[in-house]
Amino acid sequence: MKAYQPKDIRTIALVGHGKCGKTSLGEAFLFDAKATTRLGKVDDETTLLDSEPEELKRKSSMQLAVGQVEWNKRKIVFVDTPGDGNFAADMDMGLAAADATVVVVSAPDGVQVGTERGWARAVADGLPRAVFINKLDRERADYAQALQEVKDILSQKAVALQLPIGEEQQFSGVIDLLQLKAYRFDDDGRKVVVEDVPADYSDRAASAREELIEGIASSDDALMEKYLETMELSEDEIHHGLSKAILTGTIVPVFCGSATRNIGVQPLLDMMADFPCPLDRRARVGKAPNGEEASRTASEEQPFSGLVFKTISADIGRIALVRVLSGTLVADQTVVNGNRDQKERVGQLYLLTGKKRDNVDKAVAGDIVGLAKLKSTKTGDTLSDEKAPIVYPAVKLPEPVIGYAIRPKSKGDEEKVATKLHDLLEEDIALRLDRDQSSKEMLLRGLGQVHIEATVEKLRRMGVEVELADPKVPYRETIKGKALNVEGKHKKQSGGRGQFGVCFIDMEPKPKDVETDDSLLFVDAIFGGAIPRQFIPSVEKGIRSRMERGVIAGFPVVDIKVTLKDGKYHSVDSDGRSFEMAGSKGFQEAFRKAQPILLEPVVTLEVICPEDNMGDIIGDVSSRRGKVLGTEAKGKNQVVKAHVPLAEVLRYAIDLESITAGRGHFNMAFSHYEEVPSNLAEKIVAEAAVAEDED
């Protein structure tokens, strides 16, 4: 592929709901531009863009992929993003690397949750948008209904640039409303026959064209004035007016076709070649090393800067996918990673299509290239010219919604599992690996059940077998009452010097007006040397140690006030360890007398679901001891907000998928702790006692 200047590069993200046909559309781009010799099919597992075994098995993209084609003397770089919410982070990163977006909508299914999510993110990123209504050859395909949903749910600025000729089995081509010409396609879609609009479509096409011209005219005051005077616009005015309207978002052009039959794809490529180029975007703003604001435009005259938006595995090791945002990057250049304050030596530059690589000598703004063997760079980092460093803001990513305790099937493989997981975390930044401080479990968190399952499958291919279990709920222990003058006594005599320490304590809930995050408010009220001053910190240490281990069920104790009021000591047998033990024993005794209770974490749950599922969602939330906080409309979906105990939603991602047939998604964040109902608390305490006996 020859070198292109930024003005001739178009970088576009394909977004939409899972299985709407984004990958098939990308394969059609490659085929029509003769980058491949056959039209790749998802069902036949012959795609170049989906290459991971898990993707081929599920027949659905699970990570973003990049493709590059030459069309109408332009270079079109496209990013095929996953539509499944389990892999939404890759969609977000793909949009961060793009200058425009094509939102793919399935004609049989209309606008879906994933469609809205992709659209909303593109709007938030300020990207020009177009819509491609796909799968018009399928059963139940309804172009008019899909277009109406696009207008009602996504944007009233959506305007058709094409009409389909026939639907379902009779779908054979499209009508270009700008030229008022019909395009029919042969079996593989490469050969296009241009003809007059069929007579039975002429009135409909004329009406749709009038709506389109009005939309173009309304995007510019001068064009509108001329249109009102003459009711006509020249071809040049239409072309430039449409380009400007797309750039400013005052028009969202709607195309249609069938990616798998390669119908309507070439006209879409024609329009993509006229999409905004990198130079049309506003300057990107970041931070210089001194903390001051810095900016870069896409000009080749600017210093180099680029965003690492994905890391992939290849036969040559890890490859960082970099979107060049400004300036020029050349092979063997030294750059700086501003996020990590590290220099990196750039070796060979690769143009990628799926996992296929071609070498290039340089890359300019708009290009996406692969860089191998970077030492410290990770996904989300900014690379820039070492003489003009800059760091761009981090891309906001979705938070994990499901987690499992993960451990190796074979003892002794802990280090191997940790190493392989570290490798996967570099590729997939939506994964989280934490260690629960109270349970000591290693927790793997992700965006859904499928996300976790795919990760486990990758580990298996890397030679590591693991087991998953529900994570332990981080309950807490506290009290509701008081205990006064409770003795903690430690006495041990075994010949020679013994151990002796006695303390008397009062215990009560920590006052709510005390401004401290410390779970223990420790008050020293010793007078007259009942306990020597050097041993008082030991009493507090023993109390804190016991609080970490819990008293009634083995969970950490929180929000306690302990007053040390009296004690006894022996001039020979007393030492720090004796008073630690006395403090621990006194704390346990007082805690049991002060009406101990269990606290459970409560999360704020926000569920986005189709309206016809809302009743089921509310009923399900109530069955989980949840409290519905309210509902609101969001497009054709409903948002249900609730407070729910964490213990009840550990596997909510699986249950929600079942309730909504995969059309719902949710966000979850910690809110607060509440008392566990007594009947459930008794069960938790009993199970903890059994576990302690087993240990």
* CATH topology match: 476-594 vs 598-680: no
Taking residues 367-391, report their average pLDDT. Answer: 95
Burial class of residue 387, CB neighbours in 10 A (0-12, 13-18, 19+) = exposed
Instruction: Estimate the crossing angle of helix 614-623 against helix 652-660, to 10 degrees.
Output: 150
Mean pLDDT (whole number) for 161-175 = 93
Q: What is the 3-state secondary structure (H, E, C) of 511-580?
A: CCCCCCCCCEEEEECCCCCCCCHHHHHHHHHHHHHHHHHCCCCCCCECCEEEEEEEEECCCCCCCHHHHH
- For the cut 50, the answer to whether the pLDDT of residue 695 exceeds it is no
One-letter amino acid identity for 16?
Answer: G
Token pair recorded at residue 28: 């059609």
Q: What is the 3-state secondary structure (H, E, C) of 221-261?
A: HHHHHHHHHHCCCCHHHHHHHHHHHHHHCCCEEEEECECCC
H or E stretch at 659: helix 652-660
Q: How large is the average pLDDT for residues 164-171?
A: 92
- Span 535-553, mean pLDDT? 95
| Helix, coil or strand: residue 619 | helix
pLDDT band at residue 151, thresholds of 50, 70 and 90? very high
Residue 694 has pLDDT above 50, yes or no: no
pLDDT given for residue 691 in this prediction: 53
Whether pLDDT at 296 is above 80 = yes
Among 644, 579, 568, 635, smallest CA distance to 606 is for: 644
pTM score, two decimals? 0.81
CA–CA gap between residue 538 and residue 522 (Å, rounded): 12
Which range of 319-333, 411-425, 489-503 scores highest in mean pLDDT? It is 319-333
Distances (CA, A) of 513 to 182, 509, 674: 75, 11, 18
Q: How do strand 402-408 and strand 483-492 relate by DSSP bridges?
A: unpaired
Of the given ranges (11-20, 259-268, 631-640), which has the lowest mean pLDDT? Answer: 631-640
Residue 444 confidence (pLDDT)? 92
| Structure tokens, 315 | 């036969």
Residue holding tokens 């050349």? 330
| Every domain of the chain and the residues it spans | 6-197+252-280, 284-385, 402-469, 476-594, 598-680
DSSP letters spanning 159-191: EESEEEES-GGG--EEEETTTTEEEEE-TTS-S
What architecture (CATH level 2) is domain 476-594?
2-Layer Sandwich (3.30)
Residue range 297-321, pLDDT digits in tens: 999 999 999 999 999 988 888 999 9
pLDDT in tens, 39-69: 999 988 899 998 888 888 888 899 999 999 9
Q: What is the structure's pLDDT at 688?
A: 82
For residue 532, the model assigns a pLDDT of 94
pLDDT band at 214 (very low <50, low <70, confident <90, very high): confident
Q: Which CATH class is domain 598-680?
A: alpha beta
Question: What are the CA-CA distances from residue 573 to residues 493, 500, 502, 538, 633 (Å)?
Answer: 9, 5, 12, 15, 71
* Per-residue pLDDT tens digits for 250-260: 899 999 999 99
The mean pLDDT value for 690-694 works out to 50
What's residue 438's pLDDT?
65
The predicted structure's pLDDT at residue 8: 96
Residue 680 has pLDDT above 90, yes or no: yes
pLDDT at 690: 59
- What topology is assigned to 284-385 in CATH? Elongation Factor Tu (Ef-tu); domain 3 (2.40.30)
Domain 6-197+252-280 has CATH 3.40.50.300: yes
Positive or negative, the Cα torsion across 55, 60, 64, 68? positive
With 50 as the cut, is the pLDDT of residue 614 above it?
yes
Beta bridge partners of residue 65, listed in sequence order: 80
Report whether 295 contacts 283 (CB < 8 A).
Answer: yes
Give the N- to C-terminal CA distance of the chain in Å, as an integer: 65
Q: Is residue 71 packed enough to be buried (19+ CB in 10 Å), middle (13-18) or exposed (0-12)?
A: middle
- Report whether pLDDT(432) > 50: yes
Under 8 Å between Cβ of 297 and 321: no
Residue with tokens 């909504």: 660
- Across the range 523-544, mean pLDDT stands at 94
- Reduced to 3 states (helix: H, G, I; strand: E, B; else coil), residue 65 is strand
The dihedral built from the CA positions of residue 69, 88, 379 and 93, taken in this order, carries a sign that is: positive
For the 402-469 domain, the top CATH level (class) is: alpha beta
- Looking at per-residue confidence, does 367 or 471 come out higher? 367
Rounded (10°) angle between helices 221-230 and 235-248: 140
